[in-house]
Structure 1
Amino acid sequence: MKKVLMFVYDSFAEFEISILVTCLSGTDYKLETFSTSDTPVTSGGKLNILPDLHIDHIKIEDYVALIIPGGEPSAHLSDFKLLDLLKQFHESKKVIAAICGGPALLGAAGILHDVSYTASITEQDLLYRDYMNWERKKDNLLVIDQNVITSTGSNYIVFAEEVLRKLGIVPIDEIKPLTYFRVPSSY
């Protein structure tokens, strides 16, 4: 079974990754969450979760992808253990998917020096201004460059679709595979 790793931290935006997490269940991929703390984390919506792993117990060779939800990740911009883990994922050419404010961690890790991206943060966000390569930021809702998928926070359905495509769960040419989540139905 292939494994996908997801970073969870206090304030992470669970709604931005809930559809992706739902779609991963029942596939050949196992999702494991991790944190830099040994205690439960509280999402932006006040859900408390106990991560599966502490960062000290991660072996990147066990994973094919890393997901970074949005939220307020500023407390982790100087966490060298986390930033090193992100660099290792990137250097190993594993899929990295970051949404909303999540790309700020990629910026802090130096990954955005040579990767185009998008995010729901701007140069006016003083907490993040010095960590981002603003010349590489695109105004698109979703950007895929090398092994990195980035998205604005409100684009979470397309974000999920692109991660699922990159993992081979949905065909590359299938248009809007998550229609169930886009269009209300009576059943």
Structure 2
Amino acid sequence: MKKTAVLIYDQFCNFEIAPALEMLAIAEKPIAIFAKSLVPVRSEEGLMVMPERSMDQLNLEEYDSLLLPGALDIRDVIEDEAILSFIKKFDGMPIGAISIAPLLLLKAGMLGGKPFMAGVNQKELADEGYTSEELSLMKGWDDNIREPIPEGYIRSGNIITSVSYNFIKWALGFGEMLGINLSPKTFGL
């Protein structure tokens, strides 16, 4: 069985991906935790996580999907060409990106013409230099508060995105993309 790659980076948000990881464990789908290098990575919650592999150890033939957690501050990660290059290798495979992580896909050029959800507002991103064209199909944080999407996520082909507070619905949606169908009651929904 092919694995799901999980990419972690400084200040990644563990709680956002915990239900997805639990769902994969229940389904006995193997995962591998990647980071830029083989040094412990501190999560937003203060957990120190030791990655199993560095990004340069990727053997793409072993993987069929990618999970990208949000982070407290993702600015350095978004500008890291090695991280963007790693993510681009999964183009066409199922990718789950939550909270601020969809911006990695946007920066990598993988969201062109696709609607997506992100845990930030368009105005804040415009202030960071993103164009209105890049953000035209984005449903941001305030958009989700005003007009929530019942599913809790947006699926555009092989990519599923959401905001942090929909992390359980997003995890279940990611599982469905992989052929894993758990009852929402598994996670209290």
TM-score, normalized by length of structure 1?
A: 0.86
Residue type of the partner of 1:144?
R
CA offsets 1:132-173 (integer angstroms, 9 cap, x no match): 7211213444110011000111001100110111111117xx
Give the Cα separation in 2 of the matches to 1:11 and 1:4: 21
Counterpart residue number, 2:112? 113
**Bigger CA drift: 49-58 or 72-81?**
72-81
Counterpart residue number, 2:155? 144
Moved over 6 A (4+): none
Partner SS, residue 4 of structure 1: strand
Give the Cα separation in 1 of the matches to 2:61 and 2:127: 30
Q: 1:156 aligned to 2:167?
A: yes
The answer as to whether partners of 1:104 and 1:128 remain within 8 angstroms in 2 is no
Counterpart residue number, 1:97? 96
- Map residues 118-137 of structure 1 onto 2, 5 A cutoff: 118-126=117-125, 129-131=128-130, 133-137=134-138
Residue type of the partner of 2:154?
V
Give the Cα separation in 1 of the matches to 2:95 and 2:129: 21
Which is helix-richer, 1 or 2?
2
Cα gap change, 1:25 to 1:128, in 2 (>3 Å): farther
CA offsets 1:91-123 (integer angstroms, 9 cap, x no match): xx1001000011111111011222210010112
Q: 1:180 aligned to 2:181?
A: no
Counterpart residue number, 1:47? 47
Residue type of the partner of 2:115?
S
Number of residue pairs aligned between Structure 1 and Structure 2: 176
Give the Cα separation in 2 of the matches to 1:128 and 1:37: 31
The answer as to whether partners of 2:37 and 2:53 remain within 8 angstroms in 1 is no
Give the Cα separation in 2 of the matches to 1:82 and 1:131: 19
Counterpart residue number, 2:34? 34
5+ residue gaps in structure 2? 144-148
Give the Cα separation in 1 of the matches to 2:31 and 2:113: 28
Partner SS, residue 51 of structure 1: coil
**Bigger CA drift: 14-23 or 73-82?**
73-82
The answer as to whether partners of 2:38 and 2:52 remain within 8 angstroms in 1 is no
**Bigger CA drift: 109-118 or 151-160?**
109-118
**Bigger CA drift: 137-146 or 9-18?**
137-146
Give the Cα separation in 2 of the matches to 1:36 and 1:103: 18
Give the Cα separation in 2 of the matches to 1:150 and 1:134: 14
